[in-house]
Structure 1
């Protein structure tokens, strides 16, 4: 069987059997089986899910990372190998990332005697809940590693396209929850209460002014309310309403300024409406900051291996690969997947033609990076 067909078969098997973050037990077992069959050394890290392998010998170490978890989405892609797990889907393409890095591992194994060091392969769980990278770091998977590389497929780019950038790339991710507490009342006698729905509605509108009027327009900011919940019947003003949403930035200073302004707006509305607004912030991954040198190096290898390279735009999504880059230098890259539907969409369907060339790219990147550390 050709390498390309093997990688697509593996990708489809992973796609049929997706597992949520922290539950990737069968996925881990499959990876262990495939790596063992290729005589690739599996390292004995203490991990509940996920697996780490290593190829080569010597004192130089670089790492490649793939993420392996899926999303709580009911698939509607219509492909013959659709998810067999109801309500779970590889809607972000982690099955593709895994097959790419598996392919790179097989190619590196075939040239193991010629490698000028070791390549550690991280098949990371729980990227979607931003916990997996931290678990691998705690387990020691970055020990002795000098540089790390990873990828995300990019549905907005054609197959054969490559993009990355030095410096900030993916965004800080914060989740917020507002608990708006007024005073309930009969809908016919609103003057006897303090209407939490009216307050919440005005608060949503006011928050939109933060990015447009309080932050330098040259800085990247997304502040979005994504959920509103309140009330349980038609003729009662509810006592409380809950709002939930996300803040995305690329600079810590901007992040803190937005949080401070949001707090001021909430306090002002609470006073004006004789109500209470409690805000809880939940931190996701920090901004992903590529090392300039390794981003340039990754681009040069992409050009050598036949990609059309371009300078990536700032990305407002979150990516826990950022955790690794807080510890060691490296680069995260985008590879075109040409899906007509975007990431996290139930009809997401990346073009499998990207897999074999990307596997070759990462094997070359790893092998040549060992000469530059």
Structure 2
């Protein structure tokens, strides 16, 4: 990659970083991506999307896809960088600006050798990953029609630069959200016996929820239950009548996942009934576990070694990723690339290294071309790998 293009990727990333937009509100981001693709002479496909962009390079069959996500998070940035977010309370704290810039770079490299590609590469600049709806939007619009394999990435701040990790089979977790509403009876704080203390009951529920992974499920299974919000009361001397808890459950085993809502209901109803209160569970199923196609995960590792990455098998991740929705429809693989940030994803101080941009763009350029060739001549591709 030329220094000019390397600097271009940094420029794109910093512009995206300065002007982040929340899920399904990525209008200016969409316009920027469209403008940059048009300037490179890269064809855009119209799927009637409100936000997000689909581009395509090459001709004929087969057809594979690359995916980047484009939305940001409702977080106030604290990095102090000169290119920090100009949008109060909104930040690219997950690195989607990096992902978008990488795929823009891969698109430019693929465009430069378009006539030699043994097929087509469709690039999805997807909205609304953070709320887990964007992938399904593109699927419903038909953006996967005819695609034979799909590939994507996430930066990994806890991995060093030059490291790429992935695994066949389950990788990222099932993601589910819950809200528990505890209804007791309000009372004066000096006379708690006259009420039913929803705060005490909610506190008991928080502790009891941790018995699900520690005492009700095998320690060999992956299960995380986290309460992330407690809301109740509005003054210091009144026991509130209601308290609301919110949180998330993460699993990899789909059969286990199906049992969790009923287990939570039994637990909260028993605790609340013992104190004369009521507890109701609201369950919101999120994206499924991301399950890489083993063949393509191995293929991604092989290409990464040839591209100069330190390649390792990834461990199971408890984070969620709506790329999983694509993999329920077609084969493919998702990889993690080291971004070496002191602070992790979704942190206001998240500050990944831009040195990952150029190598990652080169990698996805090579991966796309090699994947097309492997589909056309799988026997030859296997021989090359060996």
What TM-score does the superposition give when structure 2 sets the normalisation length? 0.96
- 1:234 equivalent in structure 2: 236
TM-superposed CA distance for 1:258, in Å, is 2.4
Tell me how far apart the structure 2 counterparts of residues 270 and 211 of structure 1 sit (CA, whole Å). Answer: 21
TM-superposed CA distance for 1:190, in Å, is 1.4
Among 251, 254, 261, the alignment partner of 2:253 is 251
- 2:382 equivalent in structure 1: none
- 1:37 equivalent in structure 2: 39
Matches within 5 A, 1:1-373: 2-373=4-375
What TM-score does the superposition give when structure 1 sets the normalisation length? 0.99
Say how many residue pairs are matched.
373
Tell me how far apart the structure 2 counterparts of residues 194 and 81 of structure 1 sit (CA, whole Å). Answer: 52
TM-superposed CA distance for 1:371, in Å, is 1.5
Tell me how far apart the structure 1 counterparts of residues 46 and 267 of structure 2 sit (CA, whole Å). Answer: 51
Tell me how far apart the structure 1 counterparts of residues 230 and 22 of structure 2 sit (CA, whole Å). Answer: 25
Q: Secondary structure at the match of 1:2?
A: helix
Structure 1 segments unaligned to the other structure (5+ residues): none
Tell me how far apart the structure 1 counterparts of residues 26 and 197 of structure 2 sit (CA, whole Å). Answer: 45
Tell me how far apart the structure 2 counterparts of residues 352 and 232 of structure 1 sit (CA, whole Å). Answer: 45
Contact 2:45 2:55 in 1 (8 A): yes
Contact 2:265 2:280 in 1 (8 A): no
Give CA-to-partner distance per residue, 1:200-245, whole Å, 9 cap, x none: 1111111111100111111111101111111111221111110110
Q: Secondary structure at the match of 2:236?
A: coil
Tell me how far apart the structure 1 counterparts of residues 268 and 348 of structure 2 sit (CA, whole Å). Answer: 35
Contact 2:174 2:289 in 1 (8 A): yes
Tell me how far apart the structure 2 counterparts of residues 127 and 307 of structure 1 sit (CA, whole Å). Answer: 26
- 2:384 equivalent in structure 1: none
